[in-house]
Amino acid sequence: MQISEAGRLAALGSYHILDTPPEPELDALAQQAADIFAVPIALISLVDENRNWFKARVGLSVSEAPRPFSFCAHAIASDELLVVGNAAEDERFMRNPLVKGDPNLRFYAGAVLKNDQGHRLGTICVIDTRLRPDIVPNKFAALEALANTVMKVLDNRKLQCADAD
């Protein structure tokens, strides 16, 4: 089933979550992802039309990045987990300024946040500035489980917002 970008953006907008303050439950899930992978950066990232907005973040001070520089924008192109073992050697990312220069990103793993209608809203991802050949496959299953938990939180939040209206 082909899902349009316009439909995906409308679905994302229906959550009324972009540019909202931090939420402890989501912050804790991002921290859990960072802890599981022992990485300095973990994000719950929502891919908007022109930007990648970070609902929860560990180890990163900025709250968004331009979509063209976004690993997460690549991740939502598929339902599959995106793992980039060495961004400096990956054709999709080697010219990315976040890879070529500071902070010199190398490793990325992102699990897609997908709603019940199949819209890919963003990712929960882990990022490192060094290569991570030590990461074993069962950790990727944990990241996908965290993605499911994030979607449950987002869906519950959406229902609570609808009830308040």
Strand partners, 109: 83, 126
Domain positions in the chain are 5-164
Q: Which fold has domain 5-164?
A: Beta-Lactamase (3.30.450)
**Model confidence over 63-89: pLDDT tens digits?**
999 999 899 999 999 999 999 999 999
**Model confidence over 105-161: pLDDT tens digits?**
999 999 999 999 999 999 999 999 999 988 888 899 999 999 999 999 999 999 887
Are 67 and 85 in contact by the 8 Å Cβ rule? The answer is: no
Helix (H, G, I), strand (E, B) or coil at 53: strand
What are the C-alpha distances in Å from 105 to residues 18, 55, 57, 137? 25, 20, 16, 21
**Model confidence over 16-37: pLDDT tens digits?**
999 999 999 999 999 999 999 9
Long-range contact set of residues 134-138: C-beta below 8 Å, sequence gap at least 24 = 135/37, 135/107, 135/109
